[in-house]
Amino acid sequence: MRRSDMVANRRFDELAVRLDQLSVNIIISAVSAELSLTPKFIH
């Protein structure tokens, strides 16, 4: 494997990790928004 390929793979892994964290943050904020919109008597 060439050195440039290894560097590209490492960058791609970092990007994938950032995208995972971003999607988790989006899901968490969506869920909390959903919960805040839900009427309180359900709890």
pLDDT number for residue 1: 66
Residue 38 burial by Cβ neighbours in a 10 Å radius (0-12, 13-18, 19+): exposed
Model's pTM, two decimal places? 0.57
- Position 41 scores a pLDDT of 63
From the centroid of its chain, how far is CA 25? 5
pLDDT of residue 43: 55
pLDDT in tens, 2-43: 888 989 999 999 999 999 999 999 999 999 998 888 777 655
What DSSP line would sit under 1-38, residue for residue?
--HHHHHHHHHHHHHHHHHHHHHHHHHHHHHHHHHHHS
